[in-house]
Amino acid sequence: MSRGRLMPPRGGGRLVLPVVLSATFAQLLNVTVAQVASPRIQADLDAGGGTVRLVLAGYTLTYACLLVPAARLDDRYGYRRLFLAGTVVFAVGSVASACAPGAASLVAARLVQGAGSGLVAPQVLSLIQAAVPAARRPRALGLYGATMAVASLAGPLLGALVLDADLFGLGWRPVFLLTVPVALASLAGTAVLPGVRGADGLRVDKLGAVLVTVGSGALVLPLTLGREAGWPWWTWVGFAVAAIALGHFVLSLPRRPDPLIHPEVLRDRSALRGTLLVFVFNMGVPSFTYLLFLHLQSALGYSAPAAALTSAPFAGAAVLGSRAAPALGRRHGAAVLTFASLVLAGVSLTLAPLMSSTAGRQAALPVLAVGGAAFGAFTASVFALVLASVHGPAAGSVSGLLPTAQQLGGSVGVAVAGLAYSAPADGTDAAFRHAMAYQAAVFVLTALISLRTGAAPGASNGGGDARGTGLPEVSGRRPELRFSTVRIGRSVSAKIGVGPASCDALTRVYR
């Protein structure tokens, strides 16, 4: 199969970076602004809690399901075409979200938004790799990480300010329009992007993509809406469809030509354990921040800006934790993952009683900072440590599976955490304790899985530490991609669960 011929960017590539970084900013901003707006959406649309959770989970669901297929399609259609198509889809979904007349149409619009992000995300680092000269690439990748950090931190604050301003009396709707000017700027800049002429003979596993999408959707939908609907018959049909679709996807992998993931993944225990680790951990995020925003605003009466400021220590400390991750990885290896998970479990249990009083909520601020630091250290380490433990044909597929597991875990986690919070309880304080008990259970399970995950302290895989950072290298990486992991690991915020090596992984899917 021919990969196709790269067509150089217009303007020597200097304009490529602002275009792709603006798209990255819009995608990540879109996650947290929706979280902070969810109580207002529920009240305005008279929607149930399950429907609002679907507004959040639907975005990451379609995002996840398109990541791996989109990473393969760029060889067929070119980076520029897929970037253009994804940006258009994302912008249309954003406008449709702002104009949604009801809850069902808002959910549908969010699914469209997620699909656009899923098409664009794999192209961003590929475009940087293709268009930016090697001498400028380290700085470009550093800016990429900084963009992720700024978007993650700015999301709750910008969303809260827009909600508080109540622009033109539109309430929560302008929150979804925040990303539209950024997406339009990205769209206007696509002319400068390089393209790849389509490769002849490329086959995409369409059946696999359909099975994963149907199975994941059939799982998330009843989890999100089932309790409020009284668990009617269709919820159990959904669970059955999910089991059949996902089961058929796994069992038919060896027989399908060009499957989405290499069948060797099913026989590699390190690959399976690492994918499970990422999935389970992300069942605890972004549901943690979602529950925090929900409780502060809906139960305690905080304004959106006050809730955003209360969560700020978590986000700020996550940046510091990600910066410390290389040194921690060098000294302690995968033990960083275990310790960080246990710290997050402890933070979850500690927050539950603190939120019941004003003095306790003030004392919760440093507790949130400790949790944010642990969160940042985990997400900045986990991808590199998992990839270092996987070898052979499974390695390439795991690079694509990890970000997919990350997003799917987030979708399932928001649904299940919402069930925990809305379960019968003696008041809102008890409801929050139930939710934090769920969070603690997820993080303890993560710690147990991590005990046998990743590399030993200071271990390397075919070449030593990644330029002295302590992050183990993965066999076969290009030097510039190894360096990208290091730079992004030093600067990216873990606010929405995007670790540095996930950026590297997105550029390596089926390369």
Q: What is the DSSP string of 53-68?
A: HHHHHHHHHHHHHHHH
The average confidence (pLDDT) of the chain is 81
The better pLDDT of the pair 358, 195 is held by 358
Q: Residues 53-79: pLDDT tens digits?
A: 999 999 989 998 888 888 777 767 788
pLDDT at 200 exceeding the cut of 80: no
pLDDT of residue 10: 54
pLDDT of residue 87: 94
Structure tokens of 505?
Answer: 């992984």
Q: Residues 26-40: pLDDT tens digits?
A: 888 888 888 899 999
pLDDT at 442 exceeding the cut of 90: yes
pLDDT at 487 exceeding the cut of 60: no
**Burial of 148 per CB tally in 10 Å (0-12, 13-18, 19+):** buried
Q: Assign 104 a pLDDT band (cuts: 50, 70, 90).
A: very high
Mean pLDDT of 115-125: 87
Structure tokens of 59?
Answer: 């975005």
Q: How many other C-beta atoms can be found within 10 angstroms of the C-beta atom of residue 232? A: 11
pLDDT of residue 456: 52
pLDDT at 478 exceeding the cut of 60: no
pLDDT at 181 exceeding the cut of 80: yes
Helices (H), 283-357: 287-294, 304-332, 335-354
- 250 contacts: CB under 8 Å, gap ≥ 6: 266
The region of weakest confidence among 122-126, 312-316, 330-334 is 122-126
pLDDT of residue 236: 95
Helix, coil or strand: residue 206? helix
2-16, 341-355, 458-472: which has the highest mean pLDDT?
A: 341-355
pLDDT of residue 497: 38
* pLDDT > 90: percent of the chain: 35
The region of weakest confidence among 77-81, 143-147, 295-299, 333-337 is 143-147
pLDDT at 443 exceeding the cut of 90: yes
Nearest of 62, 92, 113, 66 to residue 184 by alpha carbon: 92
Question: Cα–Cα distances in Å, from 336 out to 457, 489, 491?
Answer: 10, 15, 18
Residue owning tokens 């990208």: 484
Q: Is the dihedral of CA 56, 62, 67, 71 positive or negative?
A: negative
**The amino acid at 123:** Q
Question: Cis (ω within 30 of 0) for the bond into 286?
Answer: yes
pLDDT of residue 105: 95
Nearest of 414, 412, 432, 411 to residue 423 by alpha carbon: 432
What is the widest separation between alpha-carbon atoms in the chain?
65
DSSP 175-230: HHHTHHHHHHHHHHGGGGS-EEPPPTT----HHHHHHHHHHHHHHHHHHHHHHHHT
pLDDT of residue 192: 83
The region of weakest confidence among 327-331, 359-363, 502-506 is 502-506
**Burial of 250 per CB tally in 10 Å (0-12, 13-18, 19+):** middle
pLDDT of residue 2: 44
